[in-house]
Structure 1
């Protein structure tokens, strides 16, 4: 699996990605994400042998990251038909090296994960993310833990 910047030809495939019913409470509809974040975040796809299996965003420019001087991971998702195949774990393991290469002047990455989304929190913990002790109160589905890791 490799990460690459999303190109216009990827858009229909990315927009067709969906998650299971439980996860949908924690992931913004992808069409809304793409419509509202163009100038503030870089869009990436997870590509497995020419197939887009997932999507994520990196915020390096907005100045509104949850932790100062850290990149921020947003909208990470593996498409429903690709779930359960190890892509989430592979993503989490590969992300730090990818970020070191793509963003060499940054030393950390943060994210927010809904306090009710225990599975996602466990995945991030396996990838070396730790809670900062702070909680982001606002969020469409309730409060979110703020987690960080060194890259």
Structure 2
């Protein structure tokens, strides 16, 4: 699994990305357009054997304050796996590649936070499987209660 920061050369891949159910996650094309208007948002593409299989945005802006007031953190949002590749383990592979990607590209970041709808049980299980911990906090988002999860990256410092 290879994580790559979005650039215009990947525009066609984003256009071709299929996300049939976008109730819990934003369409990548919309997320990329919104990120282009921000200095603090970084769309990330996850490739398996050269095929774009998953997508998410890392954000260090003010939206992060809904999740944490801790410095040196980034918000992970709009995570999805292309509908054509769901159930093949690509979501967990992308999230498992995140700590190394963060150490290389955002070395000052010590944790990644996210909000997951309390009713999105498959996503909750995925995040937990990939090392995210439930903080016990939540906030009321646009489509219901969002559980706040965090992935500590500090253990990478000891390597």
Fold shared, TM-score > 0.5 on shorter chain: yes
| Distance (Å, rounded) in 2 between the aligned partners of 1:92 and 1:45 | 11
Task: Find the counterpart in structure 2 of residue 101 from structure 1.
Answer: 104
Name the TM-score, length of structure 2 as normaliser.
0.85
| Distance (Å, rounded) in 2 between the aligned partners of 1:6 and 1:37 | 10
Task: Find the counterpart in structure 2 of residue 11 from structure 1.
Answer: 11
**TM-aligned CA deviation for residue 35 of structure 1:** 2.2
| Distance (Å, rounded) in 2 between the aligned partners of 1:74 and 1:102 | 17
The answer (yes or no) to whether the contact 2:19–2:27 under 8 Å persists in 1 is no
**TM-aligned CA deviation for residue 111 of structure 1:** 0.5
Which among 81, 86, 101 is matched to residue 84 of structure 2?
Answer: 81
Q: What number of residue pairs does the alignment pair up?
A: 147
Name the TM-score, length of structure 1 as normaliser.
0.89
**TM-aligned CA deviation for residue 127 of structure 1:** 1.2
Task: Find the counterpart in structure 1 of residue 63 from structure 2.
Answer: 64
Partner-residue secondary structure (3-state), 2:56: strand
| Distance (Å, rounded) in 1 between the aligned partners of 2:116 and 2:18 | 18
The answer (yes or no) to whether the contact 1:14–1:54 under 8 Å persists in 2 is no
5+ residue gaps, structure 2, are 154-159
Partner-residue secondary structure (3-state), 1:85: coil
**TM-aligned CA deviation for residue 32 of structure 1:** 2.3
Indicate whether 1:49 and 2:49 are aligned: yes
| Distance (Å, rounded) in 2 between the aligned partners of 1:30 and 1:106 | 24
**TM-aligned CA deviation for residue 20 of structure 1:** 4.4
Q: Deviation digits for residues 106-127 of structure 1, max 9, x if unmatched?
A: 1111001011100000110111
| Distance (Å, rounded) in 1 between the aligned partners of 2:9 and 2:97 | 24
Task: Find the counterpart in structure 1 of residue 94 from structure 2.
Answer: 91
| Distance (Å, rounded) in 2 between the aligned partners of 1:121 and 1:130 | 10
5+ residue gaps, structure 1, are none
- RMSD of aligned Cα (Å): 1.5
